[in-house]
């Protein structure tokens, strides 16, 4: 089932999410619905707070291949972050807004999949690094807008008013 994606200004996007302690049928349904919503909205990632849940779950598909390959990380933790990449980011929760964000080029993400099995994903630059950091930020109440430099924030706020 497609879920409603919350937009910037909704206070639920600013909560620090709670860890998942047990993978229940309701959690599996939420994950399936998040994946369906991500593809429907043509996103490359989606975090649980974006659909109104306060759980530490992200789904993503950076589409490095032509075939869909959705991935899930429950209770993700990022480490070994180093290097730097810059690129324009947008967000399903901030429709129409874009800005250049500086992220770590290398990231190691650890968590669990929907079966409760440990997962480790290592990325060295590119879309996957950005997606992992962007979606994990959502779990801590951080939007990409918060990571823009002051000049870009001012420009984006003006664009938002015009929208």
pLDDT in tens, 119-131: 999 998 889 999 9
pLDDT for res 77: 98
Record the pTM: 0.94
Question: From the candidates 89, 135, 159, 161, which is the catalytic residue?
Answer: 135
pLDDT of residue 116: 96
Q: Is 122 a catalytic residue?
A: no
The predicted structure's pLDDT at residue 10: 98
- Average the pLDDT over 80-84 and give the result: 96
Tokens 């990022």 belong to residue: 78
The span from the CA of 123 to the CA of 109, in Å, is 8
For the domain made up of 11-162, the CATH class stated in words is: alpha beta
Residue with tokens 């490095």: 64
Model confidence band, residue 156 (pLDDT cutoffs 50, 70, 90): confident
Rounded Cα distance, 58 and 34, in Å: 8
């Amino acid at each position: 089932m497609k879920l409603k994606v919350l937009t910037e200004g909704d206070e639920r996007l600013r909560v620090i999410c709670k860890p998942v302690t047990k993978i229940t049928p309701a959690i599996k349904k939420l994950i399936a619905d998040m994946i369906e919503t991500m593809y429907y909205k043509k996103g490359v990632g989606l975090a649980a707070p974006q659909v109104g849940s306060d759980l530490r779950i992200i789904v993503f598909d950076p589409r490095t291949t032509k075939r869909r390959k959705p991935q899930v990380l429950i209770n993700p933790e990022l480490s070994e972050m180093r290097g730097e990449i810059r690129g324009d980011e947008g967000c399903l929760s901030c429709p129409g807004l874009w800005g250049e964000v500086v992220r770590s080029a290398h990231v190691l993400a650890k968590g669990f999949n929907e079966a409760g099995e440990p997962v480790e994903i290592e990325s060295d630059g590119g879309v996957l690094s950005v997606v992992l950091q962007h979606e994990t930020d959502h779990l801590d109440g951080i939007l990409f807008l918060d990571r823009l430099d002051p000049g870009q924030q001012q420009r984006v706020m003006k664009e938002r008013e015009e929208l």
